[in-house]
Structure 1
Amino acid sequence: MSDPRGGASTTLVLVRHGVTTHTSGRRFSGGLGGDNPPLSDEGRDQVGHTAAWLGELGDRLDAVIASPVRRTRETADLIAARLGLEVTEEPAFAEMEFGSWDGKSFAEVAAADQAGMDAWFSDLTAAPHGGESFHDVHRRVLLGLGRVLDAHAGGTLVVASHVTPIKTLVGHAVGAPLESLFAFELAPASVSVVAFHPDSSVQAGYRASLRMFNALPPGRRTLLDTGRW
């Protein structure tokens, strides 16, 4: 991978979007193919705390990148306004498309399509009708990662994204199997940090490391505190 900044690592500060009505209602909420709800007032408040926290990094942050989905674009806009940066979009970092499940609760999908849900949890190539599989998302997220690393080599970037793409990037960084996505928990508006270090001796052209996972600004309650699992 080309590295115009002389081998400096590229750091992604991954921010999950704040809550929407779908998040609070435990409903499947995918990318642009679904209901595409905005942040709720609670979600905007969550992101505001995260934006203020990231603002402490000042000019150490070089760019803000967003999934084009409404809730992530709103998250990115709030953060970028605090940092004084523009937002660019990377479609590959959008949430998994849930097809016919989008907007439905887990209970509603289980009642209507238990076999499909069982397959989705046991086979990473299985997809909801009209949606994507975990393998599909993994492939497009890593293609997007390559574009971002090429375009922003050596930079420190805020990336506003979703549960599945963020877990995909974290799992990729630590060399975990794709099945590990089921073992990760991500709070709304949480921050995870991965760094990519140029290394021409490996096939990917870089080595990755995880520097932070599922962190919340001081004063924000965790899932353990609230009991909202």
Structure 2
Amino acid sequence: MSGGNAAGLDGSTSSAPARGWGQPGMAPTRIILVRHGETDHTTDKRFSGGLASANPPLNDLGRRHVRETAEWLATVAEQIDVVISSPVRRTLESAEIVAEVLGKDEVLVDDGFAEMEFGRWDGLTFMEVSEQHPEDLQKWMGDLDHPPGGGESFRQVEARVLDGLTRVISAHAGRTIALVSHVTPIKTLVAHALGAPLDSLYRMELQPASITMLSWFLGGADGDQPMASMRLFNVTPGAHWDGAFPL
């Protein structure tokens, strides 16, 4: 495997080789990221933010797809220690379905994994934003520090998502977590785990009720560097996979 810079939990980099494995006998912290199911905003391709948004619920198709995803995860339910969710309605509803299918008694909530706030854009389609706020849209598409519609910038979202990651790994080190979140936080975690620049978010696509799996561990040349690897990305069990979840 090639060398490179490994991303730490605080966003820093190390010159240690970016090997995709940890030290023998040390359990990784595995995070199974589940994007929430469809809402009517998803179907209509409308911007849908966090708690300051219209906060739409799952629709019937969204609930069905989340249940299909949870049933796939159920093959390894005994190895999943905790279910964590963003506080937003569509993620909480998705997490409750996941917890029910996995036989978990509760869903923990972490505000760090809420979706980006889109401010004045919330509830609008891309076309509507391009017509009503063309300069704002153009700036947002090329500036990671620009808050769309007066909401949150990608950099602001990154900061709170990585704070949330630190909390999760600190509280659940060496365990397996099912974390139900949104497009922007999940892409942010993937970019961070791979040591990719934040603008790589523009080149990723995530389907509703999809699964992405990341692992964090200590590795590197001295065995003491916080490192990560990706095992799955944007897997949609109901549509593309057969068999058990490959934990």
Which TM-score applies when normalising by structure 2?
0.84
The one-letter code of the counterpart of 1:79 is: V
Is residue 2:42 matched to residue 1:20?
A: no
Aligned counterparts of 1:20 and 1:92: Cα–Cα separation in 2: 21
Counterpart among 122, 139, 142 of residue 162 in structure 2:
142
Partner in structure 2 of residue 126 of structure 1: 146
Question: What are structure 2's unaligned runs of at least 5 residues?
Answer: 1-8, 10-24, 242-247
- Alpha-carbon contact 2:84-2:108 (below 8 Å) kept: yes
- What secondary structure, in the 3-state scheme, does the structure 2 residue paired with 1:158 have? strand
Is residue 2:103 matched to residue 1:74?
A: no
Fraction of identical pairs, as percent:
51
Partner in structure 1 of residue 15 of structure 2: none
Deviation at 1:58, TM superposition (A): 2.2
Aligned counterparts of 1:130 and 1:118: Cα–Cα separation in 2: 14
Which TM-score applies when normalising by structure 1?
0.90
The one-letter code of the counterpart of 1:31 is: G
- What secondary structure, in the 3-state scheme, does the structure 2 residue paired with 1:56 have? helix
Question: What are structure 1's unaligned runs of at least 5 residues?
Answer: 223-229
- Alpha-carbon contact 1:66-1:87 (below 8 Å) kept: yes
C-alpha deviations, 1:64-90, integer Å up to 9, x for none? Answer: 000000000000000000111110001
RMSD of the TM alignment (CA)? 1.8
Deviation at 1:129, TM superposition (A): 3.1
- Alpha-carbon contact 2:77-2:103 (below 8 Å) kept: no
Q: How many residues of Structure 1 are paired with residues of Structure 2 in the alignment?
A: 216
Is residue 2:104 matched to residue 1:88?
A: no
Deviation at 1:205, TM superposition (A): 5.1
Correspondence list, 1:1-229, <5 A: 7-85=26-104, 86-199=106-219, 206-217=226-237, 219-220=238-239
Q: Which runs of 4+ in 1 moved over 2 A?
A: 198-202
Deviation at 1:199, TM superposition (A): 4.6
- Alpha-carbon contact 2:35-2:209 (below 8 Å) kept: yes
